[in-house]
């Protein structure tokens, strides 16, 4: 299974890396590693994580207060957002392609 980032999800990731790197040298890199480890878990077990809507799921990172919001399409994982767990819930909803995906379960 492969994966790709929604362009805005890539921006989410870059902004968070910059924030952590600005807070402490090397912490941005550690955050990046944690996000990619989370994506690795998603790829290994794509249906194991909690549903946010019919086709959208979320997997929490282990060390940082972030989650990876994603959709599974055939054998592809699309990363919709790298979302802080305590800020702006649902800000990424406009990134979904299908209106039915926006309806929470």
pTM attached to this predicted model: 0.87
CATH number for position 53: 3.30.2310.20
Q: Sort strands 2-5 and 50-51 into parallel, antiparallel or unpaired.
A: unpaired
Mean pLDDT, consecutive 10-residue stretches, the chain (105 aa), reads 94 97 97 98 94 92 96 92 87 71 46
For residues 75 and 58, what is the distance between their CA atoms, to the nearest angstrom? 17
For residues 61 and 82, what is the distance between their CA atoms, to the nearest angstrom? 10
* 29 domain-assigned: yes
- Would you state the structure tokens that stand for residue 64, as one six-digit string? 């940082």
Closest C-alpha to 59, from 75, 83, 94? 83
For residues 38 and 74, what is the distance between their CA atoms, to the nearest angstrom? 20
* 105 domain-assigned: no
């Amino acid at each position: 299974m492969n994966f790709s980032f929604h362009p805005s999800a890539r921006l989410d990731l870059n902004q968070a890396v910059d924030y952590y790197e600005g807070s402490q040298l090397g912490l941005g890199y550690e955050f990046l590693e944690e996000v990619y480890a989370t994506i690795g878990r998603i790829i290994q077990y794509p249906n194991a994580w909690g549903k946010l809507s019919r086709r959208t799921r979320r997997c929490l990172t282990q060390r940082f207060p972030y989650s990876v919001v994603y959709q599974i399409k055939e054998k592809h994982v699309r990363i919709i957002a790298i979302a802080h767990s305590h800020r702006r819930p649902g800000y990424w909803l406009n990134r979904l392609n299908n209106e039915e995906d926006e309806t929470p379960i």
